[in-house]
Structure 1
């Protein structure tokens, strides 16, 4: 089935509707390579399915328009002259492509991503960062995914993950639960996400979704930061914002009224000689 794909670039340092040729080449090659490698992974999955040639036709991209607003690249995606029918492997490849796009937006690398797919995702991240400060990807069946190019990092996809074996902790809001894979995710106030693997007592932990929690487990690091905790346990904690709520706010007039002014009878006492010396020093 042929689909559309739209990439909108916002804030680039070129006129609307234009793009630097090297940036166009980097973006289109990265998008095509990412789609192709995801499709190849699907074909290599055990079980009945279509041939490698058919899948590569499905993930084929064709640039069909370059429009203003700021600059919009429009692609056709999929085989030409084939029956307009979605097949299971096509849907799986499409779902994985959009999962990668969402992961790029969140600056995290999903566990299922192979090194080859991660390499292509890193190239797309690099191309987006070079081309425009913001970008949006969408098609006719997926809502627009807005990407802040300044926040995404190539290192998320290229850095080797190291299992430390050390117990570590992460605090944040529990925002994702998956009882099937026993994987959850927390995100702190500055937007950094930590994946939680093999969560203990996951059914009880799932009741904490949307709340602030502390998660502990064996740390997995990449780029000198914690990206995941293995064999994780989750406990609720108070939202740190509560410390700043329900406090009385005083106006400036109330603050000034409650603060005593200078005491007219206060101050140091000087002898006559000391006072004369002070005046001489002041005149000098």
Structure 2
């Protein structure tokens, strides 16, 4: 029998009960990818011999409800099949998903997390950043967990290609030339003419403010961005940064 999963999105870029199509596609796709990888992981680890079709059906995610819930947008998903009786693989999938979500919240992956699962968890976090400032997962068999996805560590999760490492804090002065409200990513052209990507912003003075929307008012202005830095092939990136006029 299918399991119910409820996701509430709080203080996102859209009005309660609305969701940008691109954000919805990214979110549902990331959730489906994660449940499929969980099912395959469970079968390969403990239940060899099950057919691929059984695994895919047990991991199938269906959006069965989409409503405004007070100031939040509530999405209800069914995981698995409705016409199968008893405690099936879909229940194990949701139980494992619950562990992984609590691992995201606590920034501590379960010991059994594989690199493929780590990739899918980080993809889910990134999709949540596009749609909400904070989110709450719950359901019939899912102990509720609430967290702010933009501020959570990706670096602790095993990855197939290895995560970027964010180290000492750096302060960059330059012109803010792009603000992506959907992806919540900023770009600053620094004094040397190089692009600096700001993956997420935090605010130190008002927890209810949206730092990305506030930063949009500075578009085209000289700013100073400060945060943990990562230098790699793709250039300099900052995460969990603050921004102020120069």
User: TM (normalized to structure 1)?
Assistant: 0.52
Task: Tell me if the contact between 1:107 and 1:151 (Cα under 8 Å) persists in the aligned partners.
Answer: no
Does 1:17 pair with 2:45? no
What's the C-alpha RMSD, in Å, of the aligned pairs?
Answer: 2.2
Does 1:99 pair with 2:104? no
Which residue, out of 63, 71, 74, partners 2:73?
A: 71
Match of 1:52 in 2: 52
Task: Tell me if the contact between 1:59 and 1:78 (Cα under 8 Å) persists in the aligned partners.
Answer: yes
**Bigger Rg, which one:** 1
Q: Between Structure 1 and Structure 2, how many residues are aligned?
A: 161
Q: CA 1:76/1:14 → structure 2, altered by over 3 Å: closer, same or farther?
A: same
Q: Which has the higher contact order (CA 8 A, sep 6+)?
A: 2
Spell out, residue by residue over 1:127-181, the C-alpha distance to the aligned partner (whole angstroms, 9 max, x if none). 11222110001111222111222321333334849xxxxxxxxxxxxxxxxxxxx
Task: Tell me if the contact between 1:135 and 1:147 (Cα under 8 Å) persists in the aligned partners.
Answer: yes
In the alignment, the residues of structure 1 paired with residue 4 and residue 112 of structure 2 have an alpha-carbon distance, to the nearest angstrom, of 26
Residue correspondence of structure 1 range 70-149 to structure 2 within 5 A: 70-82=72-84, 84-87=85-88, 89-149=89-149
Task: Tell me if the contact between 1:43 and 1:52 (Cα under 8 Å) persists in the aligned partners.
Answer: no
Task: Tell me if the contact between 1:138 and 1:145 (Cα under 8 Å) persists in the aligned partners.
Answer: yes
Spell out, residue by residue over 1:220-252, the C-alpha distance to the aligned partner (whole angstroms, 9 max, x if none). xxx99xxxxxxxxxxxxxxxxxxxxxxxxxxxx
In the alignment, the residues of structure 2 paired with residue 91 and residue 13 of structure 1 have an alpha-carbon distance, to the nearest angstrom, of 33
Secondary structure, aligned partner of 1:45: helix
Q: 1:6 deviation in Å?
A: 0.8
Residue correspondence of structure 1 range 233-272 to structure 2 within 5 A: none
In the alignment, the residues of structure 1 paired with residue 46 and residue 31 of structure 2 have an alpha-carbon distance, to the nearest angstrom, of 25
User: TM (normalized to structure 2)?
Assistant: 0.60
Spell out, residue by residue over 1:37-91, the C-alpha distance to the aligned partner (whole angstroms, 9 max, x if none). 0100111125566333112111100111210021111111111422x2113x444
Structure 1 unmatched ranges of 5 or more: 162-222, 225-284
Residue correspondence of structure 1 range 161-240 to structure 2 within 5 A: none
In the alignment, the residues of structure 2 paired with residue 92 and residue 19 of structure 1 have an alpha-carbon distance, to the nearest angstrom, of 29
Q: 1:8 deviation in Å?
A: 0.2
Structure 2 unmatched ranges of 5 or more: 164-228, 231-246
User: Which piece of structure 1 moves more, 126-135 or 30-39?
Assistant: 126-135
In the alignment, the residues of structure 2 paired with residue 125 and residue 19 of structure 1 have an alpha-carbon distance, to the nearest angstrom, of 16
Q: CA 1:47/1:54 → structure 2, altered by over 3 Å: closer, same or farther?
A: closer
Secondary structure, aligned partner of 1:19: coil
